[in-house]
Structure 1
Amino acid sequence: MPHTKSPIPPVLPTQEQWDAIIQNDSAYDGTFFYAVKTTGIYCRPSCKSKPPLQQHVEIFPSPDRAAAAQFRPCKRCKPEGRQLPDEEWVLQLTELIQQRYAEPLPLQELADRIHGSPYHIQRTFSRIMGTTPAEYTQQIRIQQASRLLTTTKLPITEVAAAVGLTNASHFSTLFRKLTGKTPTEYRNLSLEKEALLDE
C-alpha cells in the first residue's frame, strides 16, 4: 500500500545522495537515511535491497525523523540499529500477501518488497506461521476463490485468474487439495444450501 502519511513536506534526494543510494555507498551511512514511499520502509544508503525509483524516495537526517513520518525500519540494513522483531516482520509479510495475492509472488519478490533475504524470509515465516510463504499465498488465493464461487457467477477460469492462478487445471487441483472439493462441486453445494434456506 503506498505510503502517504508523511507529516512534513518531503525532502528529495540531491544527486550526490541519489548516487550514494544507487551505489550502496557505506561512506554515507549515518549522514542521511532514505525512505521509499511505496513500501513505507526507510534504509541506510548502503542497503543492498532492490533500488527504488528516484521519485519515490524521501530523505531524512535521522532514523527518528523517518520513524516520526511513520516509515518502518528496513529488516535487511537495520537503519535504527536494532532488529525488527520477527513476529512484526512476519506480520508485514502476511499483510503484503493478503493485499497482493492476485499477483505473482515469488520468494525473491517478497524479499525485495520488505527488504529481507529469501532464505531468512522462508526460515522465519515457516517457524512462526507453521507454513511457507508460498503455501500461505495459496491458502489466501483459495479462500478468495471460495468467496467468489459463492458470491458471483464468474466462470471457473475467471475466478482462477482473479486470484492469481491463470492455469485453470492447476487451480482446480489446488482447490480440491485444500477444500476437498472441485470448484464446481463447491459452488453447487453452496447453491444447494441457499435453495434449502429459501424453502
Structure 2
Amino acid sequence: MRYHPSMLTFEICNAARLRRDPRYDGRFFTAVKTTGIYCRPVCPAKHPLTRNVTYYPTAAAAEAAGFRPCLRCRPETAPFCPAWNGTRSTVARAVKLINAGALDQDSVVALAARLGISSRHLARLFERHVGATPQQLAKTLRVQRAKRLVDAGDHTMTDIAFQSGFGSLRRFNAAFAELYGRSPSSLRAMRRTSSLRKTRD
C-alpha cells in the first residue's frame, strides 16, 4: 500500500485488524499475499501472519493489485470507503458520479470533462487518493452492486446484470468469474446451501 499523510499507516491498520476494530471498517482493506484474498478489518477468519498482509485504502485498489474479495466478510457490504473524503473535492465528485453510473456507458474522458479537468489529471488524483483507476473503481462498484443482489436472491441474473450497470449478461458473467473465480449463479447456490445448513443447525 502506498501511504500518504492523509491515509493510515501500516502500523495503525495492523493494530486495527488484530483488534477487529469496527471503527476502521471501510477505511482500509487487508490483502493476504498467501491466499490472494482481501478482507475487511472486522473479518472473523483466523488472523494471517503480519508478514503476509498488505493494506489498501479501497476495495478497488486491492482488486487492481490482483486480490479477490473474501466470501466470508463480504467486502461489498462494508461502509462506502471514505479514503478520498476530506482530500480532494474533485475526487469526491468523481466518485459520486461513478457510483451513480457515469462510467457504465460513458468514457473517463467524458467524466473528466464534466469535472473540468483532463483525464490524465483525473487518473493522477485517483492513483493518489483511491489507489486505483476510475475504470477499476467503476468495475468494483458494479460487481459489488451485483454481488449484493445475487446474495439477496430476488432477481434473475439478467435483471442483476442490467441493474448493476453491465451492458450485457455476458459481460456481467465474465466480470464476476474474473473476480470471484466462479459464476454468479454458483455463488448464489453456495449462499443458499449455507443458509439451509444454518437453518437446520
- Please tell me the TM-score bracket, short chain as reference: 0.5 to 0.7
Counterpart position of 2:149: 148
Structure 2's unaligned 5+ residue stretches are: 1-85
Distance (Å, rounded) in 1 between the aligned partners of 2:179 and 2:93? 24
Identity across the alignment (%): 24
TM score, norm. by length of structure 1: 0.52
Bigger RCO (CA 8 Å, 6+ sep): 2
Counterpart position of 2:182: 181
Matched, 1:138 2:139: yes
Distance (Å, rounded) in 1 between the aligned partners of 2:179 and 2:191? 17
C-alpha displacement at 1:140, in angstroms?
0.2
- For residues 87-130 of structure 1, the C-alpha deviation after alignment (integer angstroms, 9 at most, x for no partner) is 33212211221122684241022113222211211222123212
- Preserved contact between residue 101 and residue 164 of structure 1 (Cα < 8 Å): no
Which of structures 1 and 2 has the bigger CA Rg?
1
Distance (Å, rounded) in 2 between the aligned partners of 1:109 and 1:86? 23
Counterpart position of 1:89: 90
C-alpha displacement at 1:151, in angstroms?
1.0
- For residues 23-79 of structure 1, the C-alpha deviation after alignment (integer angstroms, 9 at most, x for no partner) is xxxxxxxxxxxxxxxxxxxxxxxxxxxxxxxxxxxxxxxxxxxxxxxxxxxxxxxxx
Q: Give the 3-state SS of the residue equivalent to 1:136 in structure 2.
A: helix
TM score, norm. by length of structure 2: 0.52
Structure 1's unaligned 5+ residue stretches are: 1-84
C-alpha displacement at 1:182, in angstroms?
1.1
Q: Which amino acid aligns with 1:98?
A: N
- Preserved contact between residue 104 and residue 138 of structure 2 (Cα < 8 Å): no
Aligned positions of 1:1-199 closer than 5 A: 87-100=88-101, 103-199=104-200
- Preserved contact between residue 161 and residue 168 of structure 2 (Cα < 8 Å): yes
Distance (Å, rounded) in 1 between the aligned partners of 2:191 and 2:159? 18
Distance (Å, rounded) in 1 between the aligned partners of 2:188 and 2:124? 36
Q: Which amino acid aligns with 2:191?
A: S
- For residues 114-173 of structure 1, the C-alpha deviation after alignment (integer angstroms, 9 at most, x for no partner) is 222112112221232121100110000000000111113322122111111122122111
Number of aligned residues: 115
C-alpha displacement at 1:184, in angstroms?
0.8
Structure 1 stretches of at least 4 aligned residues deviating more than 3 Å after TM superposition = none
**Cα distance change of structure 1 residues 174 and 108 upon mapping to structure 2, 3 Å threshold:** same
- Preserved contact between residue 102 and residue 141 of structure 1 (Cα < 8 Å): no
